[in-house]
Amino acid sequence: MPAAGDNGAVGRAATGLAVGLLALAIAACGGSPAVPAPVAATGGPGARHVLLVTIDTLRADRLGVYGYTRARTPVLDALAASGVRAARAYATAPVTLPSHASILTGRYPPAHGARHNGMAMPEGLPTLATVLKAAGFATGAFVSAFPLDRRFGLARGFDAYGDRWARGPDGRPADERAGQLTVDEALGWWRTARPARSFLWVHLFEPHAPYGDARSGRPVSDRYDDEIAEADRQVGRLLDGLGADRAETLVIVAADHGEAFGEHGEIGHSLFVYDTTLHVPLIVQGVDVSPGVVQAPVSLVDIAPTVLQATKVPLSATMDGQALLSPGGPGTPGTRRQLYAETLAPFEDFGWSPLRSVRDGAMKYILAPTPELYDTAADADESANLVATAQAEAARLKAQVATFAAPASTTAPSTLTPDARRRLQSLGYLGGSGPRANQPLADPKDRRELAARLAEVTSGELSGVALERALLTIVRDDPRNPQARMRLAFALAQRGDCAAAVPHFRAAIAAQLPSADAHLGLAGCLVAQGKGREAAAVLEAADEVEPDNPVVIANRGAVLSDAGQPLAAVPLLRRALALDPDLHQARFTLAIAHARAGQRAEAAEEASTLLQRLPSGAPQRPEVQRLLDAVR
């Protein structure tokens, strides 16, 4: 995983300090013994501690214990060897927030409500954290990516919720962090709290795109494995860090979803509900767990009841899952049930049909405009659609889908601010043009090429001319796609071709993107073209799209200052800094504005404050120091 801001995604790339602040906007199976013994079947106290590790975007088939011959996952493989491994565990959604909400609530997405990234889980829903806290557990969670930010509702019940993102040189918060930092923070909490009983959840983001450095020339699959190896190392640090408490800890490791590398024409995850992105590793190890393999299909909704059973905390909430290791649970021969999964990403991100699916034994039905039915035992790749030949089975499973979820097409992100939307987009989500009114919803599989091209663009695998060419193709095929328009415009502007960039910025703005990024990019080009007055007008429009966005306000100040009105710029820059004191470029521009207005003392004060706030190794320090020396 590269440093935050290193992948070229819109809204993330850091830029150096400059008098013109505008640049910063660009920143923008088999063979194992059968069923394990029930957990803690006798009257013992149950597990004292619970460690839940979720590894983002980790395909089950990339672990040695799931049969990968090139695996570099010794920690997870050893954990599985001494615990219970679910051979066929499935995510409830191929999307980070809905899947984690299912893990923590034991509910399918229609029941927990966080059905897509950015849709906050409602208050009042019991989670593992709220239930265990009420039972006297110390509770801590430490996450590594913005889709799990506390604003989306998973923090309830946790005494500590680690979701602090480092800031880039531009002062904007990053959208992810290295697992090393997350594990450091988690172990710090553990050692300080020294809990008698505890529930610790750690989320690692390494395997999520971008995979390492795409410019290294190493094949994408190898770089994906590198990221998995790093996540495996961090799990090892975490387990070692528990020290003597390790023996009394129930450890659960799972992924929130898998990752597609071209299967079904998909790149990344979220668009489809094929097993490429639903099949995940699930390992339970520790107190009273006898080694074994669960061969029956299980779901991530089974984690919460499994934890409650192992800790002997009564199940006080309704859950869709079943305790994995209990008599009569999914590991028991002869038991059978349906598992549900869905994705709203096609609808919310592209305006296409959402997908809902039910699995019953080996049979899997996908409710789509053109429905699909697969026998996953005979056809693990889900390549032979049996709907036409097995009509009765298809009808039976279609009826089952309705028992899990009402149609989802009227749902909309409830609490998504423009800032949150921008940050989710920068991680590759919300990739397209969004729902369009009064049009029949397209089947995602009929649009897979377009979606794959968009995913390629957001994955960080393309740069320079290749990125530009991919974006041009998307814009040609989907001229109304404002995301593609904006990314293309930024790519053109970054290589200095503002003349070509401006029409694309204008098209993105006309399509009413929910963020001010396109305005900021357009204003930057207009300034570069010497059209300061026009840039000021564009920034005023940006203020209406995203009121109280400190970056917009600071840019308005910068334009005024550069237009010879430094005194008029000062209040705007002060307001931007009141909203975000770590917006470093704004403070630098403020110091410059003071200097231009002849207010040397104020200029020196802001420059000094900036030097105090900038990290010791920040590359901007010499420039700030020169300014300070000049005005002192």
Residues in the site for Zn ion, rule: CB under 5 A? 56, 96, 256
Question: What does R_g of the chain's alpha carbons equal in angstroms?
Answer: 26
C-alpha to C-alpha distance for 122 and 119, rounded to whole angstroms: 9
- Judge residue 256's burial from the number of C-beta atoms within 10 Å of its C-beta, 0-12 exposed, 13-18 middle, 19 or more buried: buried
**Shortest distance in whole angstroms from residue 589 CB to Zn ion:** 37
HSE, side-chain direction, 13 A CA sphere, residue 76: 33
Please say whether the beta carbons of 365 and 401 come within 8 A: yes
Ordered DSSP codes for 243-285: GGGGGGEEEEEEES---EESGGG-EESSS--SHHHHEE-EEEE
Running DSSP on this structure, what letter comes out for residue 177? -
C-alpha to C-alpha distance for 284 and 316, rounded to whole angstroms: 22
Our CB check for Zn ion shows the closer of 143 and 502 to be: 143
Our CB check for Zn ion shows the closer of 322 and 459 to be: 459
C-alpha to C-alpha distance for 323 and 294, rounded to whole angstroms: 12
C-alpha to C-alpha distance for 294 and 532, rounded to whole angstroms: 66
Our CB check for Zn ion shows the closer of 96 and 353 to be: 96
**Shortest distance in whole angstroms from residue 257 CB to Zn ion:** 5
**Amino acid letter, 379:** D
Name the token pair of 9.
């995604």
Our CB check for Zn ion shows the closer of 98 and 330 to be: 98
**Amino acid letter, 524:** G
Q: Return all residues near 409 (Cβ < 8 A) that are at least 6 apart.
A: 347, 353, 354, 441
Please say whether the beta carbons of 169 and 619 come within 8 A: yes
**Shortest distance in whole angstroms from residue 482 CB to Zn ion:** 24
Name the token pair of 478.
């989907």
Our CB check for Zn ion shows the closer of 189 and 429 to be: 429
**Shortest distance in whole angstroms from residue 341 CB to Zn ion:** 14
Our CB check for Zn ion shows the closer of 1 and 603 to be: 1
Torsion, Cα 106 112 117 118, to 10 degrees, reads -140
**Shortest distance in whole angstroms from residue 151 CB to Zn ion:** 17
CB count within 10 Å of CB 83 equals 21
Our CB check for Zn ion shows the closer of 56 and 372 to be: 56
**Shortest distance in whole angstroms from residue 116 CB to Zn ion:** 12
Our CB check for Zn ion shows the closer of 207 and 521 to be: 207
SS (H, E, C) 540-594: HHHHHHCCCCHHHHHHHHHHHHHCCCHHHHHHHHHHHHHHCCCCHHHHHHHHHHH
**Shortest distance in whole angstroms from residue 145 CB to Zn ion:** 7
Our CB check for Zn ion shows the closer of 46 and 179 to be: 179
Our CB check for Zn ion shows the closer of 203 and 364 to be: 203
**Shortest distance in whole angstroms from residue 191 CB to Zn ion:** 28
Our CB check for Zn ion shows the closer of 56 and 176 to be: 56
**Shortest distance in whole angstroms from residue 96 CB to Zn ion:** 3
Name the token pair of 251.
């450890």
**Shortest distance in whole angstroms from residue 184 CB to Zn ion:** 21
Whether residue 36 is preceded by a cis peptide bond, meaning omega within 30 degrees of 0, is no
Residue nearest to Zn ion (CB): 96
Q: Which residues of 323-357 are buried (b: 16+ CB within 10 A; e: fewer)?
A: bbbbeebbbeeeeeebbbbbbbbbbbbbbbbbbbb
Our CB check for Zn ion shows the closer of 56 and 580 to be: 56
**Shortest distance in whole angstroms from residue 172 CB to Zn ion:** 22
**Shortest distance in whole angstroms from residue 58 CB to Zn ion:** 9
